[in-house]
A and B are shown apart, each in its own frame.
Chain A
Amino acid sequence: MNFILELVVSVFLLVGGIFILVGSIGLMRLPDFFMRLHAPTKATTLGMGGLLIASMILFTLREPGHISVHELLITLFLFITAPVSAHMMAKTALHQKLKMISRTRGQALVEPASQQMAPSGETVESGKS
């Protein structure tokens, strides 16, 4: 295995690791639940991407004639599940009326949102479209 290959793989691993670390730091540092949600859903997506690209490069180039692309599948599953789980957690938090830090704007929307109503609060045409 030559030096350049090792260098490229290391760079991807490092970048991926840094983003995952930042995601975890955000999880610890941000003040309320809704803001904390942002760090792991975003920062870790790119972090995982970096690690998977490193894995693809390493295992494809290490043995000639062997192509490793099943990491793409992990990426696909990650992209499908990350926003859904983030949405479910945010939805639950809204319904539990978890506290947001006081400078959050639009907190009046928590009430209609937890009732799944339109923002004005009045019951607009309730028929599902």
Chain B
Amino acid sequence: MLAKPRFRWLPMPYHSILLLVTWLLLNNTLAPGHLVLGTILALGIPLLTSGLSHPQPALHKPVKTARYALMVLGDIVTANVEVARQVMGPLDQLHPALIAMPLDIEGDLPITLLASTVSLTPGTVSSEVSQCRKFLYIHALSMTDEAELIATIKERYEKPLMEIFSC
């Protein structure tokens, strides 16, 4: 028989922080009243919903995560400029392609993050993941070399994500 999990007053600390920050941002204020109300919500909602959450691999490397987020942000800017240029340029110079990228990364959350990153960055949209979770299908707007594209994604996004989740 499974032992009843110990009751915890703070089941999801990161979610609590996120909820409080979101509440304060939504109201666009730092007024004491909203701080109190936000704190009550940030403590109360996780107590009610923690039973619904799926266990996810924990984040152990906040610095690496922040650096990854900043890098992705920078890449989004370059991606936008790049795509804008391709869209406005001659269309017959675009070489669209559908590729299958073998995944080394495991777990639903890491794969989701990788797929989202791929969608937000230069010229690629992730379109499907195989049922065995070993291949990610990617549509590229303009691809010169398949091996090079896969190598770039692996080196630039998959490796840091694997380090972050240490898998």
Residues of A in contact with B (beta carbons under 8 Å apart): 19, 22-23, 25-26, 29-32, 34-35, 37-39, 41-43, 45-47, 68-70, 72-73, 79, 82-84, 86-87, 90-91, 93-94, 100-101, 103-107, 109-110, 112-114, 116-119, 124-129
Q: Quick check: B131 and A105 within 8 Å, CB to CB? A: no
Interface centre among B27, B125, B127, B146 (most CB of A within 10 A): B127
- 23 contacts across the A-B interface (CB closer than 8 A): A34-B96, A38-B87, A46-B80, A69-B25, A73-B26, A82-B120, A83-B116, A83-B117, A83-B118, A86-B119, A86-B125, A87-B126, A91-B127, A93-B127, A94-B127, A100-B96, A105-B97, A106-B99, A109-B99, A109-B137, A110-B98, A113-B100, A124-B134
Q: Quick check: B28 and A69 within 8 Å, CB to CB? A: yes
Check if B123 is an interface residue, CB within 8 A of chain A: yes
Bound-state CA distance A93–B98 (Å) is: 13
Bound-state CA distance A94–B26 (Å) is: 37
The contact of B91 among A29, A37, A46, A126, by CB within 8 Å, is A29
Check if B83 is an interface residue, CB within 8 A of chain A: yes
Check if B12 is an interface residue, CB within 8 A of chain A: no
List of A residues within 8 angstroms of B129 by Cβ: 116
Bound-state CA distance A93–B129 (Å) is: 14
Residues of B in contact with A (beta carbons under 8 Å apart): 22, 25-28, 76-77, 79-81, 83-84, 87-88, 91, 94-100, 106, 115-120, 123, 125-135, 137, 139, 141, 143, 146
Bound-state CA distance A105–B96 (Å) is: 7
Closest beta carbon of chain A to B133's beta carbon, Å: 5
* A22 nearest CB neighbor, chain B only: B84
Closest beta carbon of chain B to A14's beta carbon, Å: 14
The contact of B87 among A25, A32, A101, by CB within 8 Å, is A25
Binding site secondary structure of chain A: helix
- The 9 A-B pairs at the shortest CB distance, nearest first, are namely A90-B127, A46-B80, A83-B119, A26-B87, A83-B116, A119-B100, A105-B97, A106-B98, A70-B28
The contact of A43 among B22, B84, B98, B125, by CB within 8 Å, is B84
Bound-state CA distance A38–B146 (Å) is: 18
Closest beta carbon of chain B to A17's beta carbon, Å: 13
List of A residues within 8 angstroms of B99 by Cβ: 106, 109
